[in-house]
Structure 1
């Protein structure tokens, strides 16, 4: 370099300049240091991995829609050198060509920005709509996918097919009104409701709505639902009236009324079991060998010949009666509700069980089926000393039923079905204002056990809802039972009419607010004797009639008539629902 002169350096510089200017497609760039710095920062930001990844995804999306990505990119770059869609800076007003070009580019950018905001809003709307739909499906699955141990009360696992068979023809005949949305069960119930309301409007004595609905179930020839209405009739046959109490709540929390409900529930289970035993004996008469001797004792003997108990025990205590264990005979006499038969068996074997004969005689002659404190203590002492370790499960069960000896024992060898277990517990239950008293099975404790500890999954309520419904009803949890049954669309019509039957008898607890949830629990109403919840009957009726109020307005009005004494904003709810129904029918027609 030291040997080169100034002329030589100038010549080499001109040659380099000629080389750069000639034969190349790249334009010559003239930038200052600040421009070079800005360009370097933009190139550096483009090299970010996340941004490159986003650009690749955008290119794939546009290519899938048939867009020419390079051309789109070039057009966008020609609009603005910035990385956002901000409006371009204005130019001098004297430069008309540049001004018009800038305004045109700003208009295009404004349209792009507006479309971007609309796209973001639409994406967000669809996102939340999808999330809400997914949550609704998840809630439905939570309600329907309840599985647990199988327990039966002579109910089929599936709903009877007669639910969808067209049977009933009433004032709304499906042949003359093919557009009716009511199925055969709803029409059958609607006829009974129409008869009930007609009697009230005419000023006559009200009919028994529960009995009317039971007759409808009998005509539909559905044994399961006929049994349900039979149970409702037993429970509503309690001699109670709100006139004796200041309110329905006071009546439902009264010890005397609760004891009457439990007695009726126990009687229902006992009468049902007698029918079951008769059907079992008649199905195999050659084994039963009942003969012509009437009475519970002979029925029990024949039943135990058909279903022998020997295989349930390793041994049995205190002898036999005609080859049948003594305590098994006593247990099944109690299970049938025939205390006199159980006393007769104990008397015949008084020489073997003298103390027990005294206790069961006292138990049978007490209307409340309860021993005195002295007798109960003696029986519990004997139970702890010798009976609790017995190999005879029937003897243990009899002592626990009569003396309330061990209220925690579930008696799995004796209680073969859910109704057997429930009958034993109802025989031991006591109504007291001390819900967690020691060595006592209070009604409050039994309700808590069935709902909170066992619950719907234990009784397989999702597959066999009628079983769990009856368990709740027989333990004086009417509102919870009806709300549970109303969750099933195919069974909702039955839940509505059971609620109406209880309400006209003034046994149903309802909230003061019409906007309350379907089932509510107010801490103010808490009782130490029983769990208290309230059912929103108005909401249940309006939810039920919504299905057919436009196609069968007359039937809907019959149900609204039950709301005539309910006030909404100073107006009868019947008048309010009727006016809305008329308005909707006018708009429809």
Structure 2
């Protein structure tokens, strides 16, 4: 009993020892899983069978008696008794948990397991690599985005605190309507001419706006036709006629502005044009008043002005509204002379002065001499000796007269340009037009150094006064005043606050008359300014209009609905004829082409026989300063194709290169598309579906283009023979894929063999083709992995079908042997190039090979 009890106790003790050791081993195993890893090399993932194999190899290399001394150091701090470990290992070995003899019947299962595990490892490795790459790309993107956003926010904060950001100009104190966004950097690939500004205009908003838009568009179309034919075209008159359709206050302002522009077509100087316009406008008004009141006698110019004076200066009770008037025969004589001058009737003014000479006071006796000299001079200036005398008389008698006629004061001031510190007389200048006319009359364009400072009054001085007052001072007259005073760029800007569509056409009219200061590409880069659509302020304080941007922005609401009209407007960018504007015009047209994708409308098309049908842009070659079709293809169509290619728009670039007659490039792109399709489409998926068409599917595109190129000898000459051969090869492989998808294994294998890419014959062929692999076209290299899988799949299915057959013959054996020979050659070839293919490809091939 005691012996048995002792034995039982011993067994229990040994069991407890082994259990304790196993527990510690398990704890070590669990702890090891929690060890952090920071290596980018990835984790080691081995299957149970692989561990078993490597452990067996390591054990065979060790001597029978092993020195475990070094293991003591490893396990010294772990709480292990090394003897317990050794006994545990012996126990495990005795139970064949570490190694066992693998029966022959299990070999096939182990190989299959190995292949399955190997495939899983490859898949996991690929996924891990993709996740790692995606994480790095995301981190880089976030870093770049945060950095760029911080820079932008920093600039905005600095501007809000009044700190000027470098390379940005300040508009100064000009009173302009805050409207639109920053000026882009033309020529910079990141910029856009068509989409660089904000606009509230929608030409399809309602019927009235659409009708006005179409009316303007018809005029612009006829204008371009006339320019192309070299004929004169009354642009401002045509645009003025459109304005006559409406009579509201805003349109009245625009109407008057167009009248001024119409008068500017003779290219007279600003001051003369303004005076003539104001004088004509005043006389027309006086004439209308005369027609309502025919009591002033015959319809002479003098009588018409008398009628105006009676209507405007006389009260209903017969008294005069203005005091101290010099009345002769019931007529205020100085007022009559003033308004005759105001109406531009200088000879009639002289006639009245001569007729009433006797009524002049003693201090006024010299006036007739001054008036004759003033009227007879070309520039309405007095000779020096007359000027000096008149100034003396004006200072001593006229200006200081307490009961003097205000119109006499005005007439002397006009003729002698006297007392320019006080340029208007409130009791005389009854309207804004009168005020303007007085200022224009006092302006002296040619100022000499001999002129006293107090007599110097130039157009620039007057312009500064206008800008300092701003629109609030002149109400609904500000646009006309800006145009009359030569502030054309400001006029365009202000017109936007009235009507954007009209502002654009005012700018076109001014540009056509060479009156608009248009910014070049270089100036726009230098003069970037936020929230100003049309304007920049250059270092010399000259304002400029970004004509390209103005027109590009205008096309926003109709470039997709009316691409033809958009093209007509964008063609106007080259209207000034400078190199910069021509380049911007070409750039804008390329943007229109790429954005709307209306290739046929804008660029035309090529028939099967190679003949070209031009589009709207090509029809305007002279207006684009392009000499011929070849230059058009190079500068517009080919550049647009290249741009689309750079942006990754393969289908667009394909069509554009086709239109630019770069047929070899077209074939190169088609081959690239075919290569991508054959290499990236799952073998279970069809390459062509019922929904595909010859404008989207690469195979259908290739077949269509190849047939055209082969039929037309001139086109065929422009395509490199290697490109054509490659396209034919890809189409053959596409046919093989179609057969493969239909599960016609033998036919598919025959089609693959015909292209002669893979080694079907012998091992020598396999080695030779493997050596030639690196020299193959990159497009062809990409499809070889799928081609190998297709081949091995065909062989796998054919051998399986033959093995299922109950019929046994030498022929069947030979067929299987021939197929396996092809399989061996392909596997040898694949083994030599496996590191140049995706990892999963070789694993798939091994699995297929094992199953053959």
TM-score range, shorter chain: 0.5 to 0.7
Match of 2:432 among 414, 418, 424: 418
Map of 1:68-467 to 2, 5 A cutoff?
Answer: 183-201=210-228, 203-220=229-246, 223-238=252-267, 260-283=269-292, 285=293, 289-291=295-297, 293-309=298-314, 311-317=320-326, 319-320=327-328, 322-351=329-358, 352=360, 353-390=364-401, 391-409=404-422, 410-432=424-446, 437-452=453-468, 454-460=469-475, 464=476, 467=477
Distance in 2 between residues matched to 1:216 and 1:393, nearest whole Å = 42
Distance in 1 between residues matched to 2:177 and 2:227, nearest whole Å = 40
Cα distance, 1:482 vs. partner? Answer: 1.4
Aligned counterpart, 2:839: none
1:306–1:571 Cα change, 3 Å: closer
Q: Does the 8 A contact of 1:179 with 1:551 survive in 2?
A: no
Aligned counterpart, 2:71: none
1:374–1:582 Cα change, 3 Å: same
Q: Does the 8 A contact of 2:390 with 2:416 survive in 1?
A: yes
Distance in 1 between residues matched to 2:332 and 2:245, nearest whole Å = 42
Cα distance, 1:272 vs. partner? Answer: 0.4
1:225–1:290 Cα change, 3 Å: farther
1:501–1:340 Cα change, 3 Å: same
Distance in 2 between residues matched to 1:542 and 1:228, nearest whole Å = 24
Higher mean Cα deviation, 573-582 or 431-440?
431-440
Higher mean Cα deviation, 391-400 or 571-580?
571-580
1:386–1:533 Cα change, 3 Å: same
Distance in 1 between residues matched to 2:276 and 2:259, nearest whole Å = 12
1:179–1:216 Cα change, 3 Å: closer
Cα distance, 1:574 vs. partner? Answer: 2.9
1:215–1:338 Cα change, 3 Å: same
What do the CA deviations read for 1:365-403 (whole angstroms, capped 9, x no partner)?
Answer: 112111111111111111111111343211111111111
Higher mean Cα deviation, 386-395 or 179-188?
179-188
Query: Structure 2: which 5+ runs fail to align?
Result: 1-145, 161-174, 179-202, 529-533, 600-651, 653-852
Q: Does the 8 A contact of 1:479 with 1:509 survive in 2?
A: yes
What do the CA deviations read for 1:68-123 (whole angstroms, capped 9, x no partner)?
Answer: xxxxxxxxxxxxxxxxxxxxxxxxxxxxxxxxxxxxxxxxxxxxxxxxxxxxx9xx
Q: Does the 8 A contact of 1:404 with 1:428 survive in 2?
A: yes
Q: Does the 8 A contact of 2:419 with 2:454 survive in 1?
A: no
Distance in 2 between residues matched to 1:585 and 1:510, nearest whole Å = 27
Q: Does the 8 A contact of 1:192 with 1:216 survive in 2?
A: no
SS of the aligned residue for 1:549 comes to coil
Q: Does the 8 A contact of 1:281 with 1:306 survive in 2?
A: no
Cα distance, 1:273 vs. partner? Answer: 0.5
TM-score normalised by structure 1 residue count: 0.60
1:536–1:437 Cα change, 3 Å: farther
Aligned counterpart, 1:485: 495
Aligned counterpart, 1:500: 508
Map of 1:16-55 to 2, 5 A cutoff?
Answer: none
What do the CA deviations read for 1:511-544 (whole angstroms, capped 9, x no partner)?
Answer: 22245453223334x6xxxxx3222211211122
Q: What RMSD, in angstroms, separates the aligned Cα atoms of the two structures?
A: 3.6
Q: Does the 8 A contact of 2:176 with 2:494 survive in 1?
A: no
Cα distance, 1:571 vs. partner? Answer: 7.6
What do the CA deviations read for 1:174-212 (whole angstroms, capped 9, x no partner)?
Answer: 9xx9999953333222111111101122x2323132122
Q: Does the 8 A contact of 1:313 with 1:392 survive in 2?
A: no
SS of the aligned residue for 2:427 comes to coil
Q: Does the 8 A contact of 1:563 with 1:574 survive in 2?
A: yes
Q: Does the 8 A contact of 1:566 with 1:573 survive in 2?
A: no
Higher mean Cα deviation, 386-395 or 305-314?
305-314
TM-score normalised by structure 2 residue count: 0.42
Cα distance, 1:266 vs. partner? Answer: 0.3
Distance in 1 between residues matched to 2:344 and 2:355, nearest whole Å = 19
Q: Does the 8 A contact of 2:256 with 2:480 survive in 1?
A: no
Aligned counterpart, 1:110: none
Aligned counterpart, 1:64: none
Q: Does the 8 A contact of 1:214 with 1:230 survive in 2?
A: yes
Is 1:509 the counterpart of 2:517 in the alignment?
yes
Distance in 2 between residues matched to 1:334 and 1:445, nearest whole Å = 23
Query: Looking at CA atoms only, which structure, 1 or 2, has the larger radius of gyration?
Result: 2
Cα distance, 1:587 vs. partner? Answer: 9.2
Q: Does the 8 A contact of 2:224 with 2:568 survive in 1?
A: yes
Distance in 2 between residues matched to 1:188 and 1:483, nearest whole Å = 22
1:238–1:567 Cα change, 3 Å: closer
